[in-house]
Structures are given as C-alpha cells and as structure tokens.
Structure 1
C-alpha cells in the first residue's frame, strides 16, 4: 500500500510503502477488536472500590433488644446488613479486573485496527512531528490545513517535547510514541496520523513479534 507523505505545512514529502499484512487486511474482525478493547479497559480499572463488611463498621456491640419476649427476631449486633449503618452484605471488594488475552490475538487486533483506518482512508503520513517552539496556535493552523480535527498522532521512538506541549491543549488530539500504539486509542479517534519513523517502528514491532513466535 502506497501513501503520500506530507509535512506539517501541507507540502508533499514523497511517498511511503506500508506493509499490506499490517495495513491491508480486507476482512476486519470486529470480534477481535472488541476482545482487545475490553482487555485494555479491564487493565485500566483501578479496582479500588470497596464497601465495609459487618466486621469493619464501627457500631455499638450492645445487645439492642432482649433475647426473648419482644416478639421479634433475635439480634445481638447492629453491625448486621439489615440495619441502617450496618455493613454491606455483598459489597464490592478491592480486586484486579485484568484478564488474560493471548499475544497472538493482541497482535492480530492491532493489525486489524490499522487496516480498518486504511480501509476508511483515515491514515495520514507525516514526514515528522516536530516543532521549534511549543505554539498551540501555529500547530492548530497546521492541523486545519491538513484536515486534522480528531486524531491519534503516533510519533517516533520519542515524542518531540515542543510538539507534545503544543498538542496537549487541542481537544480530541492524542500524541503517543510508537511504543504506545494500541487498539483502543486507534479506534477512539477518527484519523490516525503516523510519521515515517513511526511507520518503520510499526513494521519492526510486527517483525519482532513474528520472529518471537517462530
């Protein structure tokens, strides 16, 4: 797959060949994408939600009513869940929401996510994502000229500091290094913007995963 390369100023900067095995998949597997997004979001959950059980609430231990003669049930503690201020019977507990997902599925999902953007003609390749000064207004004008409104921008191995500082004030724009490329962020943004260095990094990432599998 061949795509045109542009500069931030909107000028032509040549062309680039993208691997069809990564960007040219015809049949996009929605089920694979859903599994991976669910896996990512589950890993992000803090899991720190908690309710106090009856052994953890601080209430009086005095017997509330007589054992016999009241005509009601026998109660020895106000910590019971049936009383106001008592502990929760089956409340949430601190736990990890993470679950396993095979590396093969994660790799496949990333390729399908990238291919879905290519299929929608929603991939833009930049020569480089760098600025001399962190000027949000100047970057916004560049984005406007390129037609970028809602995008995930993948830089090289490291994100240019001036570019990152200028972009963080623009809504619906995310900037990540190539190592941070993931399915969820690709799908949540309308356009995928990658630099030439990022394109090489993506190919190296898949080649490394392929070599590891072999």
Structure 2
C-alpha cells in the first residue's frame, strides 16, 4: 500500500511511502484485538476499592436484645449487615485486575488494528517535523491542513519531541505517542492515524520480529 507523504503544513512532498503488507495488510484477528484491549483497560484499573465488613466496623459488641421471646429474629450484634450502619456482606476488596498476554498475540493485535486503519484509508503520513516552541495554535494548523480538525487523531512520532507533545496536549480528541509506546487501544480509539515518516521504520522494526 502506497501513501503520499505530506508536510505538516499540508503541502505534498511528491514522495510516497510503501506500508508493509506484513503489518498494514494482514487478515485482522478480532479475538487478538479483543484480548489486547481488554488487558489494556484492565491494567488501567487501580483496584483500590474497599468496603468495611462486619469485623471492621466500629461499634458495640453487646447483644442488642434477648435471644428469645421478642417475636422477631435473633440478633447478636449491631454490626450485622442486616442493620443500618452494619458491615457489608462480601464487599469489594483491593485486588489486581491485570493479566498476562503473550508478546506474539499483542503484536498480532497491533498489526490487526493497523491493518484495519489502512483498509479504511485512515492513515496519513507526515514528513518528520518539530516545533520551535510549544504552540497549540501550530498543532491546530497542522490538523486543519490535513483536514482532520474535527476528527479524533493519534499522532505517532519516531522519538519523543517535547514541543510537539506539549502543543497537542490540551487539544480535545488528540493524542501524541512515540512508536515504541503504540498500543492497540490507542490505534482503535482514534478515527485517523498520523504517522511521522520516521515512525514507520520504528513500527516495522518492532512488529517484524
């Protein structure tokens, strides 16, 4: 698949880049995508939820009424879950939601996500660029020049660029990542991918192992 390379100002450079079929042209695996996205979302969970059970409630341990003769059910403690202010039955406890996935499956998931974007023609290739200073206005100009101002976009750089990251940080529906931090979730969560020319080689090296 050949894609034209443009400058961040929107001008055509006259060059084209060939996207690898092994990464951008495979038969996508929906199940691999499902597992990778599920793991990504699970890893975002803090798992710090906690509610007090009856053994952790502060309160009197005195038997609140006599065992028999009241006409109601026996009750031994005010901390019982059936009373207001009592402990919760089987409440949430801190836990780790993360789980393991094989590297090859995660690679397949990323290839599948990228292939979907290539199939939908939702990938733009931008010549490597840098901003002299953090300017949100410059980033917005770039999106407008690429006709992506009203789209949810993901910009993939070959390496970290502080000025570009800071320029796009406050823009809604925009995210900037480096090629080595590209995830299946980020690819699918964006309407369009903007790949810097140098990031393509990095992606190839990461996923062609």
Range of TM-score over shorter length:
over 0.9
The answer to whether structure 1 residue 171 and structure 2 residue 172 are counterparts is yes
What's 1:105 paired with? 105
How far did 1:119 drift?
0.3
Paired residue for 2:153, among 151, 154, 164? 151
SS at structure 1 position matched to 2:193: strand
Question: TM-score, normalized by length of structure 2?
Answer: 0.93
Structure-2 separation of matches of 1:75 and 1:42: 41
How far did 1:71 drift?
2.5
Structure-2 separation of matches of 1:105 and 1:53: 40
SS at structure 2 position matched to 1:107: helix
Question: TM-score, normalized by length of structure 1?
Answer: 0.91
Q: CA RMSD in A?
A: 1.3
Mapping 1:129-148, distance limit 5 Å: 129-148=129-148
- Per-residue CA deviations over 1:102-156 (Å, capped at 9, x if unaligned) read 2221110100000000000000111114211212122212210111232011111
What's 2:7 paired with? 7
- Per-residue CA deviations over 1:145-186 (Å, capped at 9, x if unaligned) read 11123201111121x111111111211100011111000011
SS at structure 2 position matched to 1:4: strand
Structure-2 separation of matches of 1:51 and 1:113: 39
Structure-1 separation of matches of 2:138 and 2:114: 28
- Per-residue CA deviations over 1:56-114 (Å, capped at 9, x if unaligned) read 11122121001232232322211111111111111111101112222221110100000
Contact 2:29 2:108 in 1 (8 A): no
What's 1:90 paired with? 90
> Where do 4+ consecutive residues of structure 1 move more than 3 Å?
none
Task: Extract unaligned runs of 5+ from structure 2.
Answer: none
Aligned length: 206
